[in-house]
Structure 1
Amino acid sequence: MIGPTSAVLIGLVAILIFGPKKLPELGKAAGKTLREFKNATAGLADDDEKDKEKDQKKDSSL
C-alpha cells in the first residue's frame, strides 16, 4: 500500500518528468485504458458464464 508521503513523492517525480501540462492528458489516457480493460474482462466473464450454462444444460439432458 502506498502511503501519503510516497504518493506525494511519486506525484512530484511525475511532474518533473512529464511537466504539469502533460499530466492531465496522461491521466485521461490511463483512465480510458483501465475502463476498456475492465469492459473487456467483464465480457470474458460473461462468456465463461454462458459456457457453463451450456455445459449444465447439456449434462442435464443426458
Structure 2
Amino acid sequence: MFWNGTGAVTLGMLAEIRWPWLPALLLGSLLGGYLGAHLAIKSGNRWIKRAFELVTLLVGVKLVIG
C-alpha cells in the first residue's frame, strides 16, 4: 500500500490524474485479484503462471505492433 500511495502522489504532482478511469481500474483490480486467487486455489499455480505468461506476451506484442 505504501508504494502504491507514493506512486499515486508522485503521479498527481507530475501529471494529470484521469479520475473518470478510477472506477473501471478499481473494478478490474478487485476482479483480477479475486479471480486470480480463486483460480490459484482451484487449479494450482502452474495454470496461473501460464495465464500470466500468455497475457504478458499478448500485451508485449500489442505494444510492439501498436
User: TM-score under structure 1 normalisation?
Assistant: 0.47
Considering only CA atoms, is the larger Rg found in Structure 1 or Structure 2?
1
